[in-house]
Amino acid sequence: MKYVKPLRLFEQMLKRKVSKRGRFLGLDVGDKYVGLSISDPKNKIASPLSVLLRKKNTIDLMAEDFRSLISEFNLEGFIVGYPFNRQQNAADAVQVKLFIDDLSATKKLEDMKYAYWNEGFTSKGVELLLNPLDLHPVEYKTILDKFAAVGILQEYLDNANRKVNLKANVLRPIIN
């Protein structure tokens, strides 16, 4: 796996023919689960996809799951939630880095690119929406992880599309 700066990853996707452009997979990495979201084919809207059980001894199986998703959805890259607003060595940050390192070590995703995106308080925001629903704990956690991944990916898509559109508008001559 290869790290690419977030906007660069989006720009690389835009350089392809429209029919060859891939989608993005959002990841919310937790200690037990990885929430997944997927962008639409135009890379404008993020939707919940699934949750993978995360165990150290199943990283090879997870890599195979990711390979299947890459093929099924023609994935361009992974947008991985990262807690930039905390200290670099915070447990959550280390957890995300270790997950990416473990996934890379399988050598099953060597062509896949990924970028980190600030996860901010995506889980907190989803928690506030879910708390009044009185869900079963397993259902609650599954929905929380998927929708936290949606929040991460949607923020990335909004930001990248806004910056690309801004660049296009600045470069376009003004006609009166």
Per-residue pLDDT tens over the stretch 44-66:
999 999 999 888 788 999 999 99
Check residue 27 and give left, alpha or beta (phi > 0: left; psi -120 to 50: alpha): beta
What's the whole-number mean pLDDT along residues 129-151?
79
Per the structure, the complete domain to which residue 87 belongs is given by: 2-171
The domain that holds 52 is classified in CATH as 3.30.420.140
Exposed / middle / buried, residue 24 (Cβ in 10 Å: 0-12, 13-18, 19+) = buried
What's the whole-number mean pLDDT along residues 75-97?
82
What's the whole-number mean pLDDT along residues 66-75?
96
Check residue 134 and give left, alpha or beta (phi > 0: left; psi -120 to 50: alpha): left
Tally of structural domains, the chain: 1
Q: Is 122 within a domain? A: yes
Instruction: Say what percent of the chain tops pLDDT 70.
Output: 87
Q: Is 62 within a domain? A: yes
Choice between 120 and 95, residue whose per-residue pLDDT is larger: 95
- Cα maximum dimension of the chain: 63
Structure confidence at residue 168 (pLDDT): 65
Q: Is 124 within a domain? A: yes
Structure confidence at residue 90 (pLDDT): 77
Structure confidence at residue 176 (pLDDT): 43
What's the whole-number mean pLDDT along residues 137-162?
87
Check residue 34 and give left, alpha or beta (phi > 0: left; psi -120 to 50: alpha): beta
Q: Is 176 within a domain? A: no
Given a contact cutoff of 8 angstroms between Cβ atoms, the answer to whether 53 and 154 are in contact is: no
pLDDT at 118 over 80: yes
Instruction: State the number of CA atoms in the 13 A half-sphere of 124 facing the CB.
Output: 4
Q: Is 58 within a domain? A: yes
